[in-house]
Each structure stands twice: as C-alpha cells, then as structure tokens.
Structure 1
C-alpha cells in the first residue's frame, strides 16, 4: 500500500515537472492531484523517494524534480502507452498512404514523427541484409556496360553500372538475367552469394568474363554495409528545450550529425519490435547523457528490417512519445507490406 502510494506521488511529480518544467512541491501535489492523503504524508513520501534516488532537490527551498532513475521507474511502471486518438490515426494513415516510393515513405515518416512528438525523429532505412530479393534486372547500356538493378521486398532499390570489359549480347544478357532470377528470387540477400557464386561456370568460356563482372557487382551490392542509412528530422525542436540541457544543446547536435552515432542509437544489430526507452546516462553515446531515446523496430509482418525512434530531453511526455513511435512504426510496416 505504501509503495503504491509513493509510486503515485512519483508519477504525479513526473507529470507535473514534464508539464511545467518547475520543481514540484508538496503543496502543488495536494492542489493538483487527488492522492487521498494529507500534505504531511506526501512530504514523508517525497522524502522517501529522495532517499531512494528517484527525485532530487535542485536547490535549497525548491521543490523536487525526477532523476534519471525516477524516470526509469515511471516508464517501467506505466500501465499502458498512451493510445492515439481516432483523428490522429486517420491523419497518420492519410499522410503516409500518399507516399510513392521508399524514399518518400522514409521522409514522410520521419517528418510526421517529429511533428507528433515535438522531438528529433530518426528512421533507419530497411537494411538490405534483412531483406529478400523481389526482382533483379539487367539493362544493356552499351556493348560492354550493364545496369544492374536490385529490388528488395522492403522497397529498397540498388543500382550499379557494371563495366564487363567485353561485349555482351542481348542473348547473353537475357540468359544471365534468367539464371540469376531463378536462383535468387525470394531469397534472403545474405544467401545470394552462395546461390550465384558458381554461375560463371555455367556459361561458355568466352562469356565468363562478362558474367563474372556482373556476378561480382551483384555480390558487392548484397554484402557491403554502406547502405545502412538514417534519416532525421526535427532538430530545430531541440531549441525549445535548451534549458533542459546543462550549459548548451551543442553536444547533442554534434552527436546527431554523426551517421554512426545515429545507427548506434537505433541499435544497428537489433531486430526487435519491442519498444526500447533509454534514459539519461543509460545512453552510452557521448553528448547524449541528458537525453532520452525511444526506439522500436518496424518491418514486414513479424520480420523487423530496421528501427525508428525519437531523441529528446529526459523531461519528455513518455506515454505520448512511446505511443506515437509505436503507431508510426506500425503504419510504416503496413505500407511496406502492401507495396510488396
């Protein structure tokens, strides 16, 4: 009973501090919340919460503010993520449904998430290493030049111009395209190398140089990791929270300029659709110890192909932010599935 009441007091402190950015005192808790106990009891509960390291007094005679640990307990004890209203769901659907290709989906999604949360939004492009081959096309650009186009089930499109070094007839181009499609259509990109590595041996000796060049280019496309990209929007939102950061917001902005930092924030190797909330010093990235990062995976059905999320000050609306992140992820996944 006592623990439940103290959690209620902590929840009230977090909610008031997020809303007002003012240290919260026992008097304001009595006035704003129906906690069902006397002011003296609330003061005792606040003293206990402070002793546990869940709230702190920023300066003498001030109220209390949540600590990173306090926010963590608040998030872990959330009974539910704030649901989106019917109007918000319709707005998300109509905005994202108008996307014409993957780039448009990514741009619309990250802009929408920044608007919904009023934070910095990030979205990782679907990773080729977690995708399957939908189609491969070979287009002759000249006697010894070929355009290789790889289309993944996630909507990713990769193109490479291949210099074959020798003339390549339309007949050879057609036969090679057919052989490649027969072996790799519907296969995971990580399995493509094993399925095409012996293809040159299936062609005549005078055709092998051109076939080898095309196959090598295909292998480079599916095994290189430079395709991991992150798009972000809403960095200007940080300006509204300048006072939330010790000294200056500059370290946060500098960290967000680095692509590898963004990949780390989104969890480059993670393949989960479970919401993750990292608060304050739980973020190992230098410069982001005063921020919270909310992320979740999105994908095709049960297959998570990438992550999206937001970065903002620890003083954020966690229930609302978590709800928005989850909702946008679900819509992005639905769109990718429908585009297959």
Structure 2
C-alpha cells in the first residue's frame, strides 16, 4: 500500500474511533488534536476530502465534520490487524459465569446475557443444530404400569423428554430391555442416522416387546428431528433503544425484524465454521429492515464441527474490535462447554 493510502487509512481509523466514541461528526482539527497523525491540519483536510470522494466518509449536514459510511466501516473492519484483547479478568469472568450453567438451556441463556452485557448490543445464540448432534444416551423411565417417559440426551447437552402411553402394562424387566436395545442401536450416531435406525427397531424386536417398541419408536422419532421453534435465544433488545439516533426512522423496523426468527437465522447463516468471524455492515444485510445495523456473527463448536451460530446486532456505529473480541471469546467458551472439554 502506498504511503498516502496508509496515511488516509490512519485518518479513517481515527474518524471511526472518534465517531464510535462520541457520536459526533469529526473535523480535521479534532483529529489533529486527539491523534498523533504526524501531519498538518491541511494534509488531514486533503486526506478527508480524498476519503469522502472515494465514499469512505460523508458529511451528514453543513458542519465541517465527517462520519464513516458503510464502505468506510467495511474497510476499517477488513484491515483490523489487531482485535482488542479481553483482559485476563474478563476472560476469567466469562469462564466462571458460563461454567456455572446447569444444562444446555442455562448455557445459552447465560451466553446471551453475557454477550449483551459485554457489547451493549442485542445478542443472539442459535441452539445446537440437531443434524450435527449425536445420541449420548436414551433413558426409559416407568411412570405408571402403562406409561413411560423417554429422555433423549445428545452430546451437545440437549435433553428432550417425551411421554409414551403403551395401552398395556409393562414390567420393569421389559423396560430395562427396551432401554438396552435403544442405547445399543442409537448411542454415538448422528440424529439423522438414529432416526433411520429407530424405524427398523420394531420389526426386529421380540414378539412380547414389539407393540411397546413400536409405540416408543413412534414417539422417539419426534425427538430426533429439528424443532425450529426452539432454535434461538435473544437478549439485550433494550440496548438498541439507548441509541435511537443511530436508527433514524428505522428502529421499529429493526425491532420487528428481530422478532422474526427466520430473519435472525439468516443473519447467522454466514457462520459456517467454528471460530470464523463474519461482519455484515449496513447495506450488506440482505433483509431490508436490517440495513441500518451491523451484525457480528461466529460459529461455535469444536474440532471443525459446527454446533450453531451466535452473534450481536447493533448500529453500524459499533466498537468493532471490542465486539469481535467478545463474540469470539464467548463462542470459544460455549464450544468448549458443550463439547465437554
């Protein structure tokens, strides 16, 4: 990169930093006063004129100040050589907060609350996708002589409970045999594979267990398929209302879009690999209602196995280095916890 381009990027970086911090258009004098740019005010003015001509900054009104455009934020994010590191205390606090979780639901609720607090934005976490989960254990509990409870536990910590009405009494010994058959057939298999195996179990069951096995398998299949209504946890929506000026005429649209799970799932769709950060800025968002926002998302999981996505939604005037660091750190801890590491 030519020295003039490097200098102009430093000017852009300073404008982004000041605007994110103060929410006021930034003038050349303020840049010279606040930042050690090593050049004169005249040079900074020329650089700002060049940045404006190239579409990286714009003048919101007749004042001398400039603010970053979506294109300017994109260049800034693309050239982030260093993400603001979290302090040791912050990392320990994240670990302690998440490790105190009781189950999968608690992990995800805590993750959303933590992300919203760290970034002061809206946080969203996707439940682990069942297609990437494997069966850890199937428990069969006798509730009454003719009623069972099935408990499906996956490797991602998901627990699904179902009631099975047998229509006839069953002995403790038969319940134990059902449990053994189910676990022998299903443990360690991906849920899609397990669903296929479940359908074959009744025809191979002993005659005295066939009716009970058929009823159990019919119910168990329901636990082995996706549950779209349970896919997301959202938190920190009130954070958007603190920055109403960042959403001129569009805050209501953003809030309405966040209520639609389909829209939010699309925001996380770019998170394909664990640990890979994706930043979508303003007009880069496909949904028209979200084009006044930026979305920082990441996939969480382990060993290249994607469990789900998480991220934050906020105004384009966002602390990108700090937000990226927080999203990456929380995703890393969630992946470790759910993979049992």
TM over 0.5: yes
Partner of 1:123: 125
Deviation at 1:248, TM superposition (A): 4.7
Distance 1:144 1:129 in 2: 32
Give runs of aligned pairs for residues 70-81 of structure 1, distance below 5 A. Answer: 70-81=72-83
1:254 equivalent in alignment to 2:256: yes
Give runs of aligned pairs for residues 11-160 of structure 1, distance below 5 A. Answer: 11-160=13-162
Could you give the per-residue CA deviations for residues 66-102 of structure 1, whole angstroms, max 9, x where no partner exists? Answer: 1111101100000021110111112112222221222
Partner of 1:210: 212
Deviation at 1:58, TM superposition (A): 0.8
- Contact 1:298–1:307 at 8 Å: present in 2 too? yes
- Contact 2:279–2:296 at 8 Å: present in 1 too? yes
Distance 1:203 1:23 in 2: 74
Distance 2:274 2:145 in 1: 46
Partner of 1:179: 181
User: Is the partner of 1:46 in helix, strand or coil?
Assistant: helix
Deviation at 1:272, TM superposition (A): 4.1
Instruction: Give the total of aligned pairs.
Output: 339
Distance 2:144 2:322 in 1: 55
Deviation at 1:269, TM superposition (A): 7.9
User: Is the partner of 2:37 in helix, strand or coil?
Assistant: coil
Partner of 2:167: 165
Deviation at 1:120, TM superposition (A): 0.8
Distance 2:185 2:229 in 1: 23
Partner of 1:315: 317
Could you give the per-residue CA deviations for residues 207-262 of structure 1, whole angstroms, max 9, x where no partner exists? Answer: 32321121122222112333642112111111211011112521111111222222
Could you give the per-residue CA deviations for residues 278-303 of structure 1, whole angstroms, max 9, x where no partner exists? Answer: 11111112321111111111124432
Partner of 1:8: 10
- Contact 1:255–1:286 at 8 Å: present in 2 too? no
CA RMSD of aligned residues (A): 1.8
Distance 2:189 2:132 in 1: 11
Distance 1:83 1:170 in 2: 56
TM-score, normalised with respect to structure 2: 0.94
Distance 2:268 2:242 in 1: 23
Distance 1:159 1:299 in 2: 24
Deviates more, 1:201-210 or 1:48-57: 201-210
TM-score, normalised with respect to structure 1: 0.94
- Contact 2:28–2:65 at 8 Å: present in 1 too? yes
Aligned with residue 241 of structure 2, among 227, 239, 242: 239
- Contact 1:301–1:333 at 8 Å: present in 2 too? no
Deviation at 1:143, TM superposition (A): 3.5
Aligned with residue 192 of structure 1, among 168, 191, 194: 194
- Contact 2:130–2:226 at 8 Å: present in 1 too? no
Partner of 1:293: 295
